[in-house]
Amino acid sequence: MSSRMRAACKCVCQRAISEYAHLSVQNERVVTRILMIRHGSTNPRGRLCGSSDVPLSAVGQAELDRLVRRPAARPAPDVLFMSTLSRAQHVAAALGRAWMLQPQPAEWAREIHCGDVEGMALEDVQRRLPELWARNEAQNDDTFAWPGGESYANFRARIIEGLRSAVEAHQGGRVAIVTHAGVISQVLGVICSRRAAAWEPDRPLPLTATEITWHDGAPSAVLTYNDPDWY
């Protein structure tokens, strides 16, 4: 991620914390909570890595070790899902041991697939595909997809459908998912009525959690965002 993008995401995260802090469950019929946990830090080395299987970095592993060494302050969820990418699986395995839960693989919780540009240096993508780069930066076309990749509209649709299936089996419980920043941003986009192509807002920091409620087949409210003290 470029320094410009890091600065923008930091600003968005800070704004989102203040926007979401006052939100609470508005409807007593909402009974299912979903805890979305972003994986720990990685080192993509300036490359576009959506569904590329980038592992946790040494920093990410240290973050995870510190987390699970301390006693859990909150009850374990009823079920634990995980993206099938290794950076999420590694975190889910550690949490599963701590919570005495078997993580369930969830293909729908993977990061967006960027097709032919997966793993390409961001500078090379911008230089070789300037028109597509500009379209993606505009964040106003839900049908946008990198060549051979997944559109933002389809990305959001598979996340929501996957969450719907997960919640159906655990109504009235608390569902945890170890996933990715893009997935969490899309779920918050539904709640905030933001278009799927707006990929930049509300991207939580590594190994933080965002908790939402689910009602009538859709995400309905944000309880916490980018929370480092969720465990």
Q: What is the pLDDT of residues 67-110, one digit of tens each?
A: 999 999 999 999 999 999 999 999 999 999 999 999 999 999 99
Q: Looking at residue 7, what is its pLDDT?
A: 41
Q: What is the separation of C-alpha 226 from the centre of its chain, rounded to a whole number of angstroms?
A: 10
Indicate whether 29 pLDDT > 70: no
pLDDT one-digit tens code per residue, 172-202: 899 999 999 999 999 999 999 999 999 999 9
Q: All domains of the chain, ordered by start, with CATH?
A: 3-227 (3.40.50.1240)
Specify the higher pLDDT residue, 27 or 165.
165
Specify the higher pLDDT residue, 25 or 225.
225
Q: Looking at residue 156, what is its pLDDT?
A: 98
Gyration radius (Cα) of the chain, Å: 17
Indicate whether 18 pLDDT > 70: no
pLDDT one-digit tens code per residue, 141-153: 999 999 999 999 9
Q: What's the average model confidence in pLDDT over 155-174?
A: 95
Q: DSSP letter at 101? A: -
Indicate whether 119 pLDDT > 70: yes
Q: Which CB contacts under 8 angstroms, 24+ apart, belong to 223-226?
A: 223/23, 223/24, 223/25, 223/33, 224/20, 225/16, 225/17, 225/20, 225/21, 225/188, 226/13, 226/16, 226/17
Q: Looking at residue 9, what is its pLDDT?
A: 45
Q: What's the average model confidence in pLDDT over 62-68?
A: 96
**Angstrom distance (rounded) from CA 225 to CA 92:** 19
Specify the higher pLDDT residue, 216 or 120.
120
